[in-house]
Structure 1
């Protein structure tokens, strides 16, 4: 009896390549089969099986996907997780203390961001998202500085913990499953979840005002002009520098400070949070200030829809990510707020005693490095030796739209 599966050439079989057929929703790219080749006809065999590569024998960047593998007439959807199923968990390492990790295993920058070098022949994931930087700076704030932050509507970040690591492989797993057109994330066996500004507000507690944020020019306020001069004194990058924003935040601000000085502190905090968490770029110490209009009158910052601004950047980051995967780039920069995907999805899953109290918002203050690590380990599934997925744990809640008080 003929095999229901396409025949693998001896060379590809030796590479540990096999086919399976779980449901796929948003393939990173599509590989077409050779025309005129036989089509599987046995009952129960789907036309779009996934290609899974073993960790040790087949790696991203190597010429292992021979044309003989694709002998079905149908189009096979190859997902990012299949290509990277063998990569060791990519983590952002933030070195505050001496690490027992070898420099050959991890890469880290002074700002607390970094990435994994991966195994030889595998892609290097990097990200500039850094909760270590945010948590360490916020921890130094006086009560008065915390009050100023509360006035901006970004008070949820006052409870952020200084995470040492962020699991970039889990972020990549989730980014691959985001459908930009429908603003959803399909986590396959776990379900489909809507990604909206209300969900982002639920996680971070940021303002979702009536005005959309755009890059159109506005007349800069006196505080904006003052901040521009202050930033230029710290860095040649001026307002684009995250280190300049950090220097302003750590400067002396008290009740006796002028209103302009207090407004400059608020401007610096928003830039700092956007650049390190909500819309990080791939560049070191750099942020694109495409939200300057929202800072022109800092007293009205809550009137702007930050809950729409952040997903806009995240969805563009998803597009860029999938393009990088399709091109098999040796280094893939994960930009945008992929942290939102991790916190939101884990919140919706049944993780037993690891679940956080669901009535507390914003959610971000409930999580730290240890709890996130345990949650991700809980849902990690070893498909076979050297292959891992993150589909453990079922969705146990139907997400209700909750009016979150902006802190």
Structure 2
């Protein structure tokens, strides 16, 4: 399971009062409390994934059903459930697009992948890998004039490590527009985003699990399901 709540917690423990204040201003103060002593039981997480119906968005076990909701995400994670939809490739403004491009210049990397088709075509992709260097930077000192830099970096790391992790160590490509929302994050519906991405991951997991009887793992916010 890719939800790295323990590693994320170790990073948050090193935040000074200024960085904690910035996180709270973003509306993500609940993550600070969640991360300090949280441990993700991997086997329980795996079992829970086999019991979730992603179509009805319910946990089905022992003849009982439990419906998932955005409010539950809010109660568990303590993240914003604002009135604005998080930016996506379809809704992002030109200003958001410029922000994303600037962030990619700072943190982005490019890599090549070869098509599995007979043509063997090589594709170049650009994304943001969450590296040890980025996490080290998040732990270091930030001056008062570096608020936007910190909030942007914190949002990238929180999305990739806890809220919307994938099976790769990179921020999901379709989440790139979301990082443009860092400075006014408290106004956005992060609960809806987390639940949607979690169910997408469950759908992918279930498809692989029932096809072969085993799945190599699952993305999504597993800590939400466990708690």
Q: TM-score, with normalisation over the residues of structure 1?
A: 0.47
Offset at residue 211 of structure 1 (A): 2.2
Please point out which of 305, 308, 314 is paired with 2:189: 305
Normalized per residue, the structure richer in helix is: 2
Offset at residue 245 of structure 1 (A): 3.9
1:116-131 alignment, distance < 5 Å: 127-131=1-5
| Contact persistence 2:81–2:190 (CA under 8 A) | yes
1:219 maps onto 2:219 in alignment: no
Please point out which of 187, 196, 206 is paired with 2:79: 206
SS of residue paired to 1:186: strand
Distance 1:292 1:313 in 2: 14
Instruction: State the structure with more CA Rg.
Output: 1
Match of 1:278 in 2: 163
Offset at residue 298 of structure 1 (A): 3.1
Match of 1:367 in 2: none
What CA deviation, in whole Å up to 9, does each residue of 1:336-359 have, x standing for no partner?
11211110xxxxxxxxxxxxxxxx
Please point out which of 13, 21, 36 is paired with 1:161: 36
Match of 2:107 in 1: 231
Instruction: Let me know the Cα RMSD of the aligned residues.
Output: 2.4
1:127-138 alignment, distance < 5 Å: 127-138=1-12
Offset at residue 312 of structure 1 (A): 0.8
Q: How has the CA–CA distance of structure 1 residues 201 and 240 changed in structure 2, closer, same or farther, with 3 Å as cutoff?
A: same
SS of residue paired to 2:36: coil
1:249 maps onto 2:138 in alignment: yes
SS of residue paired to 1:333: coil
Offset at residue 286 of structure 1 (A): 0.9
| Contact persistence 1:148–1:266 (CA under 8 A) | yes
Offset at residue 218 of structure 1 (A): 3.2
Q: TM-score, with normalisation over the residues of structure 2?
A: 0.80
1:8-407 alignment, distance < 5 Å: 127-159=1-33, 160-161=35-36, 163=38, 166-189=40-63, 191-213=64-86, 214-216=88-90, 217-220=92-95, 224-232=100-108, 240-243=128-131, 245-255=134-144, 258=145, 261-283=146-168, 285-328=169-212, 332-343=216-227
Distance 1:173 1:331 in 2: 11
SS of residue paired to 1:211: coil
SS of residue paired to 2:59: strand
Give aligned pairs, total.
Answer: 208
Offset at residue 167 of structure 1 (A): 2.3
Distance 1:271 1:251 in 2: 16
SS of residue paired to 1:323: helix
| Contact persistence 1:209–1:306 (CA under 8 A) | yes
Q: How has the CA–CA distance of structure 1 residues 262 and 224 changed in structure 2, closer, same or farther, with 3 Å as cutoff?
A: farther
Distance 1:282 1:231 in 2: 19
Distance 2:157 2:187 in 1: 19
Q: Which has the higher contact order (CA 8 A, sep 6+)?
A: 2
**Structure 2: tracts of 5 or more residues without a match:** 112-125
Distance 1:307 1:270 in 2: 14
SS of residue paired to 1:192: strand
Distance 1:212 1:241 in 2: 24
Q: How has the CA–CA distance of structure 1 residues 289 and 300 changed in structure 2, closer, same or farther, with 3 Å as cutoff?
A: farther
Offset at residue 236 of structure 1 (A): 5.4
| Contact persistence 1:223–1:264 (CA under 8 A) | no
Distance 2:142 2:30 in 1: 20
What CA deviation, in whole Å up to 9, does each residue of 1:172-230 have, x standing for no partner?
221122122222212225x3211000000000011111222333343345765553333
| Contact persistence 1:208–1:306 (CA under 8 A) | yes
